[in-house]
C-alpha cells in the first residue's frame, strides 16, 4: 500500500535525529552465506540462507577478534579461516594432517560462540531462513503456486534487515551494504529485487525509502572475510539442524546456542508454512 505522506512526516524521529547528529550517521553492513543438502542449491533436503547485520565499527572489531581466536594455537592448531564443511569433515584447512580432530574443532567453535555472547545485542543481529525443499517440491507437484526457494530465503533474510533497521535499530543509518559469499545464487536475485524497488516511480513509501539506502550488493571471498565465515557457521548449523542426519552427533548444539546467544530473526518453511503462505518463526 502506498503512503502519500511527506518523508519528514513518515519518519520524523529518524530524519530529525539525522539532521541533529550529522557525522553520527553510520553504515550498516550485512553478510550472508548459504548452505544446502544435495548436489545443487535447489535439490536435496533443505536450503538455508543465514547472516548477520551490524554497523561498520562493530565489524572492524569483529574482524580482529575473530582472527585472534582462529590463530590462537595454545591448545589447537592455527586456522587461517573457518569453513564448516571442511571443519566438520576434517578436510582442507582442518585436515588431520594439519593436526586437527573433532575435539579441537569443537574447542574452536566454543571460543567463537563465547565471543558472540559479548557483542552489542542492540546493534548486532542474526538472520536465518530454511526451506524444506522436499515439501516445496511436493506442493509444487500438487499445483500450488509457490515462491521459489532462493527468493523466499532472500525475502526472509536480507530483506528483513530493512525491517530490523526500520523498527528496532537504535542508530541512524545513511547507507546499507550487502555482501554474499561467492558463487551462490542469492546475490544476483537480491540485486534484481533491489533494482526493481529503487526504480519504482509510484510515490514515496516507507519500503521504497529504505530500499534507497542500499548502496552495495556484492560478493566477497569468505576465506578473507570473517563476517562471511560467521554466516557460514550459522547457515551450516541451521541446515544441519533441519536435516537431522542420523548418526552425526557432533555440533548439534551450535544452532540452539546461536539462537540463545544472539538476537535473531529466524524462520523455517516446512509443508504447513508453505501451504499457508506465511512465515512462522520456530
State how many domains the chain has: 1
| 218: its cell numbers | 556484492
Work out the percent of the chain whose per-residue pLDDT is above 70. 85
Q: Which domain holds residue 148?
A: 7-276
Buried b or exposed e, range 242-259, using 16+ CB within 10 angstroms: bbeeeeeeebeebbebbb
Q: 35 pLDDT band (50/70/90 cuts)?
A: very high
Strand, coil or helix: 175: strand
Whether 1 maps to a domain, the answer reads no
- The phi, psi pair for 60, rounded to 5°, reads -60, -50
pLDDT for 245 equals 60
Whether 281 maps to a domain, the answer reads no
CA–CA gap between residue 119 and residue 261 (Å, rounded)? 9
Whether 263 maps to a domain, the answer reads yes
Q: What is the pLDDT of residues 50-83, one digit of tens each?
A: 999 999 999 999 999 999 999 999 999 999 999 9
pLDDT for 12 equals 36
Q: 19 pLDDT band (50/70/90 cuts)?
A: very low
> Is the dihedral angle over the CA atoms 138, 181, 268, 170 positive or is it negative?
negative
Computed over every residue of the chain, the mean pLDDT equals: 87
pLDDT for 250 equals 73
Sheet containing strand 264-269, edge to edge, reads 214-220, 173-181, 26-36, 46-55, 124-132, 264-269
CA–CA gap between residue 129 and residue 51 (Å, rounded)? 10
CA–CA gap between residue 219 and residue 177 (Å, rounded)? 11
Q: 103 pLDDT band (50/70/90 cuts)?
A: very high
Look at strands 173-181 and 214-220 and give their pairing: parallel
Helices (H), 1-101: 7-10, 12-21, 56-70, 84-88
Strand, coil or helix: 225: coil
Whether 231 maps to a domain, the answer reads yes
Inform me whether the pLDDT recorded for 110 exceeds 60: yes
pLDDT for 89 equals 94
Whether 15 maps to a domain, the answer reads yes
CA angle 148, 153, 158 (to 5 degrees): 135
**pTM of this prediction?**
0.87
Inform me whether the pLDDT recorded for 18 exceeds 90: no
Whether 166 maps to a domain, the answer reads yes
Whether 282 maps to a domain, the answer reads no
Whether 22 maps to a domain, the answer reads yes
Is-contact 154 193, C-beta < 8 A? yes
pLDDT for 10 equals 29
Q: What is the pLDDT of residues 169-227, one digit of tens each?
A: 888 888 999 999 999 999 999 999 999 998 886 555 556 678 999 999 999 999 999 99
pLDDT for 156 equals 93
| 20: its cell numbers | 541533529
Instruction: Determine the average pLDDT of the residues in 126-151.
Output: 95
Inform me whether the pLDDT recorded for 163 exceeds 60: yes
Q: 92: phi > 0 → left, psi -120 to 50 → alpha, else beta; which?
A: left
Amino acid at each position: 500500500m502506498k503512503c502519500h505522506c511527506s518523508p519528514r512526516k513518515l519518519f520524523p524521529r529518524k530524519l530529525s535525529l539525522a539532521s541533529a547528529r550529522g557525522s553520527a550517521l553510520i553504515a550498516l553492513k550485512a553478510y550472508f552465506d548459504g548452505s544446502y543438502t544435495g548436489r545443487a542449491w535447489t535439490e536435496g533436503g533443505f536450503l538455508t540462507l543465514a547472516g548477520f547485520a551490524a554497523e561498520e565499527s562493530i565489524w572492524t572489531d569483529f574482524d580482529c577478534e575473530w582472527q585472534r581466536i582462529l590463530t590462537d594455537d595454545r591448545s589447537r592448531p592455527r586456522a587461517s579461516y573457518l569453513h564448516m564443511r571442511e571443519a566438520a569433515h576434517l578436510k582442507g584447512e582442518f585436515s588431520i594432517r594439519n593436526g586437527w580432530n573433532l575435539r579441537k574443532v569443537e574447542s574452536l567453535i566454543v571460543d567463537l560462540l563465547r565471543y558472540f555472547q559479548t557483542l552489542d545485542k542492540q546493534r548486532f543481529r542474526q538472520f536465518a531462513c530454511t526451506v524444506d525443499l522436499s515439501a516445496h517440491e511436493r506442493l509444487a507437484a500438487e499445483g500450488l503456486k509457490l515462491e521459489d526457494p532462493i527468493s523466499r530465503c532472500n525475502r526472509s533474510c536480507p530483506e528483513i534487515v530493512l525491517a530490523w533497521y526500520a523498527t528496532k535499530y537504535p542508530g541512524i543509518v545513511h547507507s546499507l551494504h550487502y555482501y554474499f559469499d561467492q558463487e551462490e545464487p542469492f546475490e544476483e536475485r537480491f540485486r534484481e529485487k533491489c533494482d526493481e524497488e529503487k526504480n519504482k516511480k509510484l510515490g514515496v513509501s516507507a519500503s521504497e525509502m529504505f530500499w534507497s539506502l542500499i548502496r552495495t550488493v556484492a560478493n566477497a571471498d569468505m576465506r578473507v572475510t570473517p563476517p562471511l565465515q560467521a554466516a557460514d557457521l550459522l547457515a551450516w548449523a541451521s541446515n544441519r539442524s533441519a536435516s537431522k542426519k542420523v548418526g552425526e552427533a557432533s555440533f548439534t548444539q551450535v544452532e540452539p546456542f546461536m539462537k540463545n546467544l544472539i538476537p535473531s530473526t529466524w524462520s523455517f518453511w516446512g509443508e504447513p508454512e508453505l501451504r499457508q503462505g506465511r512465515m512462522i518463526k520456530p
